[in-house]
Amino acid sequence: MLSGKKMNEATTIDLQSDGDVKREGVALAIAAAAWILPGLGHALQRMWGRALACFLTVGALVVLGANMRGNLFTSQGNDAFASLGYAADLGAGIFYVLAEGLEKNGPDVSQAIGDYGTRFLATAGILNLLAALHAYEAARGRKA
């Protein structure tokens, strides 16, 4: 007895139906596709406007950031900032590889424009991760 109310000790088991399990699997596949190629998760769900906006925005940020000679972080980071930067940059999916190819002369963060380029590259990755999360939630049936 707790505060005059009887506690029910029986537990309920929430079983997922086969449809829920399949929907979750499809949602995870859509999220992975959205991360690898920005906008693909939305395109698979026939959200053409969002797909195009994600692809163009992430692509433009990566191209601008790389052309500004921003720092593209690698997995050999020595501190927490470099590790977080790598996670943010890797969030851009296939555009991370594109940015590596565009950075022929290496980063130059000694000038303000190179520092802005670094921020553009990280922003592209974070934006793509948010778009992949949205595609995942939409595939689960939770549209925003």
User: Over the stretch 53-101, which tens digit does the pLDDT of each residue have?
Assistant: 999 999 999 999 988 988 888 888 788 888 899 999 999 999 999 888 8
Residue 8 lies in a domain: no
Max Cα distance, the chain (Å) = 74
For residue 82, what pLDDT is reported?
Answer: 87
Residue 86 contacts residue 77 (beta carbons within 8 Å): yes
Q: Domains in the chain: how many in total?
A: 1
The pTM of the full predicted model, rounded to 2 decimals, is 0.81
Q: For residue 13, tell me if it sits in a domain.
A: no
Please check whether residue 144 lies inside any domain of the structure.
no
5 domain-assigned: no
Evaluate whether 68 touches 111 at the Cβ level (below 8 Å).
no
The kind and range of the H/E element at 47 are none
Decide if 50 is inside a domain: yes
Q: Which domain holds residue 67?
A: 20-139
Residue 85 lies in a domain: yes
